[in-house]
Amino acid sequence: MEPKPWRDRVRDEEELLAQLNQAASEAATRRAQALRDGVEELGTIAAVARDLGRSWQAVDQALKRDQQKASRKDATTTE
């Protein structure tokens, strides 16, 4: 049995990377929503960060990245 040609292997790996990137993006969006829910429950980003054992900057950056991603998506889908 001959190995797959390199072009096919590259194409397969690029497809896999695209799927993984999509899954990571969706997970980041769900995580940001969970963080927003935590802020709503606990009152502040700092409280959420303390509860999770993370820095407040890490939580804040995750929320900002998601907000920026949503803004870009809204900007590209407006009529």
pLDDT in tens, the chain (79 residues): 889 999 999 999 999 999 999 999 999 999 999 999 999 999 999 999 999 999 999 999 999 999 998 888 788 765 5
- Residue 78's pLDDT is 58
Residue type (1 letter), 34: A
Residue 70's alpha-carbon distances to 4, 9, 31, 44, 49, in angstroms, are 40, 34, 14, 21, 22
What pLDDT does 70 receive? 86
Q: What is the pTM of this model?
A: 0.80
User: What's residue 73's pLDDT?
Assistant: 79
Looking up tokens 């040609």, which residue turns up? 5
Q: What pLDDT is recorded for position 79?
A: 57
Query: Whole-angstrom Cα distance, residue 8 to residue 19?
Result: 17
